[in-house]
Amino acid sequence: FENTLALLTLNGNELLQLFAEIAKVGGEAISGARLTITPAGELLTATVNGKPVAAEREYRIATSDYLSQGNDKLYTLAKGRNKVIKSDITIRDLMIQHIAHLHSRGKAVEASTDGRITVK
């Protein structure tokens, strides 16, 4: 895929709606947040950086240009404001650069599950 990085802003209510959409599809890759969802796709709880989502606060989201258009049933992302799409580099190339940087420092890529989305 040739997806590029997109940055956008959502308020707390929109972020909760996005989390509900993520729950409805059974989960998506997220970072900085923790969700508890039901097997039926209902959002039970959501925190960002360990804190409840504040309705009046603005949250900066990094995602793909494809998802930022509301695709894959993540409709709320299309409502994002202050949208910036970095079309000069693909997400794939950003990942390659990051892995090369880790390798140059003698570090390995590590993966683990950390409970970002819990199904109850």
The model's pTM: 0.87
Mean pLDDT by 10 residues, the chain (120 residues): 92 98 94 95 96 95 95 96 88 94 94 86
- Please tell me the predicted confidence (pLDDT) of residue 57: 96
The conformational region for residue 40 under phi > 0 = left, psi -120 to 50 = alpha, else beta, is: alpha
CA distance 42 to 22: 9
Q: What is the pLDDT of residue 89?
A: 86
The Cα–Cα gap between 44 and 118 comes to: 10
Predicted pLDDT of residue 113: 79
Closest by CA to 33, choosing from 12, 47, 19, is 47
